[in-house]
Amino acid sequence: MSFSNLIYLSLLLALPILALAYRHQVPKNLKRVSSVLIYKLLPLKTVVKQKIKLPPRFWLEIFLLSLLVFALLGPKVTNLQKKTIVLLDNSLSMSAVNESSKTRLQLAKDEIIKIAPPGNFKLCKTSPEFECIIDNASQSVMRSKFAEIDFERAPDNLSSALSELSKQHGVEKIIVATDKKASNTSATKSKFQVLYVGEVQKNFYIKDILINNQYLDILVSYSSSPNDKNISTKVKLSRLPLTDELKNEFAKTTANMENKNWQEVEAKNIQINGNTENVARFGVKMDNAFIYRAEISAENLGKPVDAIASDNIAYFTLASLNTNEILVVSSKTSNNYLGLDGLTQFNFKIITPEEFKNISADNLTKKLMLIFHQSAPEFATRVPTLLILPPINNPFFPLKIMNKGEALVINSPKITSFDNLHSINLYLNFNLLKPKNSFVFEKPLWAQDIIKVEDGTLLVAGESNGVRYAGVGFELLPFGGARSSFSSVLFLNLLNWLGGTQAIQNATIGDATESNTFEVQNFYIPDNKDEYPMLDNLSDEQASTIWQYLIWVVLLILFFDWFWMLIKK
Amino acid sequence: MFAPNFYKQLQHLKIHTRRVFLGSRQGGHISLRKGHGLEFADYKQYSMGDDFRNIDWGAFARTDRIYVKQFREEQDLNIQFLLDGSGSMGEENKFEFCSKLALALGYVGLTDGDTVSFSILGKKNSPKYSSPKLLGKAEKFLSEITPSGVINFPFEIASAVQRLRTPGKCFVISDFLCDFDKIIEGIKFLIGRNFEVVMFQVLTPNEFNLRLSSDTTKISDAETGEIIDVAFDEKSKREYVKLLAEHIEQIEKFAKKSGVIHVLMSTEENIEEVVLRRLPGLGLLK
């Protein structure tokens, strides 16, 4: 048994104090007698030998206090009914067919049945959003539910799913079936069994579609070996008038889109090297009245060179595409002040916090990311968000507070550690970091300390439900470029890191694992079952809520005890 | 204070003395004084002024001398109650018990024509009462007393007796829980003043058996206020009972040796039972 709040152990100091108080307070039982004449004649030893006799109330209070301390310690009890959690990656990449003509998803389902231990199961999937379908079900139920899980034309939320699952208790183990590198990013101790299905396969696909005022960019990617030869790719853009009927159908499914009478708008040929990507730029002004279809095709590309055929076609409308706009919310709306006009490769839009309140949630999701400068949204956004010097009670990273309820301000914080593997810290020389009047954060469970100082976390970042968030406790703006090298590099790193996840999220196709990571991914090959990479173990103990009730019961009894004493007096 | 029936029963009793005392007025006890009476005392040769009626004519016929018969005069008995008025007597109605005992015996004396007076040692003395009708006053006198403080036992006895010109019967009522030497000194003073002394030692049941709870860690002296630490176990309780018995035995031995009657009683005892049964049994009442 372990305890959550060992600090309350210090309350045990009250026990000897209580004993001393009682010893001191218990009135000497004084009796008046006619004369002490005879008593004085009693042998001395019987007079001296006094037993410390404490009243039953004292023992009751000692017992209650011990019980209170025990309950406050938050004992964790082992959950005897352990279950196995199965996390199935059903992103589009799992539709890749291998040489045995089975999709990765099917392979995963087959292998899970083979290796699943007896007992109860919780079945979860990663796409289109992390979701658990069944809980505490038998293996046969899980098997029947497998049939309902098919791959989705959506990216996986593997890391956020792992982060969520790592917070579960009473878990025998978590079996993760995926075709990607699964890593436990959070600092929990979950017992993961990662089942890698399928080999890395070459895939040719539309990675992203981006628009700006003049152009439509179709980003084509070829995941393969760098040594693969160039391929010539034809990118064809077609469109159809967007009727209400079509609009509704598009909102539901794209299954029958191929049968429509598409009118070709333009076609382009581009060259792509192995393991690179290229953009096909169309000088087309997007129109809300049309639905568009992009198709890529290359000669001599078939299995296993193009593992997934369905990601070679994309359907989109102007409304369904995201802009690459970065919304900056700051009371200082002057671009000169914030220095963001120098960053021409980004499309910044600066608004005030008041203006931000008027933006609808739908419009927000189309933004590449949000930057809050000395402000914060009232509610958590579902868009990558950077908070610079946020207020105390922001919805992501609450600040460390002083006794008076104000944020703890540190004049010149000393860096104690930083995560040198994190991409936010790339190219940074920490000797140059001399922030003044900084705030430190209370790190939430889902986030990581990127830069730590003596009093807490100066820079915190994390991914929750597939969206990245970062909080900076010192001033990063105005963007000074070379004049303020540390803050400039850090700012760009933050934009890069926050935008990275967005790029993946925007993709409408599966992303097969790149071949250059083939060696380190330790793929599980179904015929060779000796490789089950294990991550850390999660404590299978769980704090029970019963102790909270116990605390109230004990406090109630102590109150009655005190009340009774008062009446008695 | 008592039931009417008890008063009636008391009227039939008489305080008995082993010795003969001089009285101050006519009463029910044979006196040392020779004069009119029923009990023949002696002969004496007739002298001028003797009552002719007392001439023993038979003796004159045999001896040819005139003898006159002398009789013991019946006079009252001087009864003195000395009640301990120290603080220790205030514990557990001890003084109340002693007052009742003194009043019951006083009523016996008064109905027999004796002179009764009460002295509260360390406090005050009552006037002499010579009629049963004055019992109410005696009762009022005693009820006004609140035992308190420390007394010097022999000194207070001497002070109380000093005012008495004639000796008589003296009842000393106390718990006698004080220094044995002082008890002796006080009683010896009374004996020296020719009193017939009766010691009533009254103790409470708690004092007899040490019925203090075992969690009593301190006790205070009712008279001096002195506090001592104690811890009672069964052994110390037995030791206490033994020491108290030794103290009482010392007093008893002294009483026996000095011709003093020592009566030990508990406040638990019934006064009526004590006066009507126990004391007559001891020869103190007839």
Can you give the pLDDT of all 569 residues of chain A as single tens digits?
A: 677 777 888 888 888 888 787 766 655 577 778 888 888 777 754 454 445 566 788 888 888 888 888 888 877 766 556 678 888 888 877 877 766 677 888 888 888 887 777 778 888 888 877 888 888 788 888 888 888 888 876 666 777 777 777 666 666 677 888 777 665 544 445 556 777 776 656 777 887 787 766 678 888 888 776 667 778 889 999 998 988 888 888 777 777 888 888 999 899 988 888 777 888 888 887 777 888 899 988 876 655 567 777 778 888 877 666 667 888 998 876 666 788 877 777 778 888 888 888 888 777 877 888 999 988 988 888 888 999 999 888 888 988 887 777 888 888 888 888 887 788 888 888 877 888 888 999 888 888 889 988 888 999 998 877 788 999 999 888 888 777 888 888 998 898 888 764 333 332 223 333 322 222 233 333 334 434 443 333 445 556 677 778 888 888 888 888 888 788 76
Contact B104, B275 (CB under 8 A): yes
| Residue in chain A lying closest to B89 (CA) | A34
Subunit contact A30:B239, Cβ cutoff 8 A:
no
Which of A25, A35, A50 should one mutate to test binding to chain B, selecting the residue with the greatest count of B CBs within 10 A?
Answer: A35
Which of A490, A408, A397, A401 has its CA nearest to residue A446? A397
Retrieve residue B264's tokens: 């030990």
Helix, strand or coil, per DSSP, at residue A533:
coil
What is the distance in angstroms between the Cα of B216 and the nearest Cα belonging to chain A? 5
Residue contacts between A and B (CB atoms, under 8 Å): 98
pLDDT given at position A177: 82
pLDDT given at position A55: 76
Q: Mean pLDDT throughout B119-125?
A: 89
- Asked whether residue B12 carries a pLDDT value surpassing 50, the answer given is yes
In our burial notation (b when 16+ CB lie closer than 10 A, e otherwise), range B134-169 reads: bbeebbebbeebebbeebbbbebbbebbeebeebbb
CA B201 to chain centre: 11
Which of A535, A362, A383, A361 has its CA nearest to residue A465? A383
Residue B220, chain A, CB below 8 Å: the answer is yes
Subunit contact B233:A46, Cβ cutoff 8 A:
yes
Chain B residues touching A39 at Cβ < 8 A: 219, 228, 230, 240
Subunit contact B219:A33, Cβ cutoff 8 A:
yes
Of residues B25 and B88, more confidently modeled: B88
Chain B residues touching A29 at Cβ < 8 A: 213, 215-218
Q: Which of A36, A38, A47 sits opposite B231 (nearest CB)?
A: A47
| Residue in chain B lying closest to A30 (CA) | B218
pLDDT given at position A105: 85
Subunit contact B221:A50, Cβ cutoff 8 A:
no
Which of A91, A191, A84 has its CA nearest to residue A134? A84
Task: Write down the mean pLDDT value for chain B.
Answer: 86
Subunit contact A38:B240, Cβ cutoff 8 A:
yes
Residue B84, chain A, CB below 8 Å: the answer is no
CA A307 to chain centre: 30
| Residue in chain B lying closest to A49 (CA) | B231
Which of A542, A538, A535, A534 has its CA nearest to residue A81? A542
Contact B271, B101 (CB under 8 A): yes
Q: Are strands A216-223 and A203-211 parallel, antiparallel or unpaired?
A: antiparallel
What is the distance in angstroms between the Cα of A63 and the nearest Cα belonging to chain B? 23
Q: Which residues contact A245 (CB under 8 A, 6 or more apart)?
A: none
Q: How confident is the model at residue B83 (pLDDT cuts 50, 70, 90)?
A: very high
Q: What is the ipTM of this complex?
A: 0.75
**CA neighbours within 13 Å on the CB side: how many for A162?**
26
Give percent of chain B above pLDDT 70: 98
Q: In the block, which residue shows the tokens 């878990």?
A: A171
Residues of A contacting chain B (CB within 8 angstroms): 28-43, 46-51, 53
Q: What is the DSSP letter of A195?
A: E
Q: Are strands B261-266 and B196-203 parallel, antiparallel or unpaired?
A: parallel
Subunit contact A34:B204, Cβ cutoff 8 A:
yes
What is the distance in angstroms between the Cα of B237 and the nearest Cα belonging to chain A? 9
What is the number of helices (H) and of strands (E) in chain A?
Answer: 13, 26
Subunit contact A34:B228, Cβ cutoff 8 A:
no
Q: Which residues contact B181 (CB under 8 A, 6 or more apart)?
A: none
| Residue in chain B lying closest to A27 (CA) | B217
Helix, strand or coil, per DSSP, at residue B91:
helix
Contact B186, B152 (CB under 8 A): no
Which of B133, B94, B135 has its CA nearest to residue B222? B94
Chain B residues touching A22 at Cβ < 8 A: none
Phi, psi of A461 (to 5 degrees): -150, 150
Residue B208, chain A, CB below 8 Å: the answer is no
How far is B187 from A499, CA to CA, in rounded Å?
115
Give percent of chain B above pLDDT 90: 22
Amino acid at A173: K
- Bridge partners of B80, per DSSP, are B117, B170
Chain B residues touching A34 at Cβ < 8 A: 87-89, 91, 94, 175, 177, 204, 207, 222-223
B46-61: per-residue pLDDT in tens?
888 888 888 889 988 9
Contact A216, A268 (CB under 8 A): no
How far is A233 from A253, CA to CA, in rounded Å?
27
| Chain B, window 33-72: residues with a beta carbon less than 8 angstroms from a chain A beta carbon | none
Total residue count of chain A as it appears in this document = 569
Subunit contact A46:B239, Cβ cutoff 8 A:
yes
Q: Which of B94, B177, B230 sits opposite A47 (nearest CB)?
A: B230
Chain B residues touching A28 at Cβ < 8 A: 217-218
Helix, strand or coil, per DSSP, at residue A188:
coil
Amino acid at B108: V
